[in-house]
Amino acid sequence: MRPDLRQFLLRLCFAAATVTALLGLARPAAAARVKVVTTIQTLRVLVDEVGGPHVLAVALVGEHVDPHRLDPRPSYAVTLSTADLLIHVGLELEKSWLPPLVAQARNPRIRTGAAGNLDASTAGIAIKTDGPATRASGDIHPLGNPHYWLTPDHALRIAHAIAARLAAIDPAHAADYQRRASDLTARVTARRAAWTEIARPLAGAGVVSYHRSWSYLTEWLGLVEVGAIEPKPGVPPDPRHLAELVRTAKARGARLVLVESYFPRNTAQRIAELGGMRLVVLPSDASATTRSYVELVDQQLGLLAGAR
């Protein structure tokens, strides 16, 4: 064999071996990412912020979908079957659709009580209740109001709970998860003064909600929830309730009607007109393209401030 040909073949073999080695390194690294499935998008955003390059996170609840009443696709059980960690809102928000999916997935890692099952409502959240409630009466918040993720304090508690759970599942990156949760705390803390300033003109304003999705947000911002279009969470309104609601809203000088982007707007629009209020359509969850919790709060406060 000619020397230059032999050298060429040797180089080719070396190049092939290098590519193989690189592929060999890349495959375990990709496989080692913690697979996280969340129900709502906001939890997915928090996982991405805390987990960074060590996680692969997907959310099941799409945009403008009522998280109480998701209609699951068969692929969701397949997604759950390979998950290392399932994170859900709890307080029965997902009661109608998540337990059957977890059963279908046949994945012991994410069953209730396993390390791979995190109920975010256990992260030290101060749960609001609207008095005695039962599902028998049609109320879909029997364990308290589950829409707690829309305040920074709660989001940060959830983020730290996520960091702790990721560290338990993936101890090699425990310090990184903790650092990332602390970095998120710093970003949110740095934005608080601006949020307070944006919300200042709204302080004390009366609001009517469609569903009780905004109770935590309004309390944080100093707004006053004077009533809801649904007489109980999940129960559709009747004319008598709506007439009483308009009277109350007028008497208390309410300024805004807040409606979730997944509810029909005609009733909310009518109540706003009758009560002399502005209608605000707010997303109650992050979207599939939301990249940070700060971005979500910025969006919500921007919509609220724009409507006053």
Residues found near Zn ion in the complex (CB under 5 A)? 233
Comparison of 140 and 161: residue with beta carbon closer to Zn ion: 140
Please measure the distance between the N-terminal and C-terminal CA atoms of the chain and give it in whole angstroms.
84
What's the min distance (Å) between Cβ of 196 and Zn ion?
A: 27
> Measured at CB, which residue is nearest to Zn ion?
233
Comparison of 107 and 218: residue with beta carbon closer to Zn ion: 218
Comparison of 77 and 127: residue with beta carbon closer to Zn ion: 127
Paired residues of 56 in beta bridges: 35
What's the min distance (Å) between Cβ of 188 and Zn ion?
A: 24
Round to whole Å and give the CA distance between 39 and 97. Answer: 10
Round to whole Å and give the CA distance between 294 and 259. Answer: 21
What's the min distance (Å) between Cβ of 173 and Zn ion?
A: 34
Round to whole Å and give the CA distance between 169 and 116. Answer: 8
Question: What DSSP character marks residue 36?
Answer: E
What's the min distance (Å) between Cβ of 68 and Zn ion?
A: 6
Comparison of 196 and 267: residue with beta carbon closer to Zn ion: 267
Comparison of 148 and 195: residue with beta carbon closer to Zn ion: 148
Closest CA to 262 of 2, 72, 59, 63: 63
Closest CA to 285 of 59, 63, 56, 60: 63
Round to whole Å and give the CA distance between 123 and 208. Answer: 29
What's the min distance (Å) between Cβ of 147 and Zn ion?
A: 6
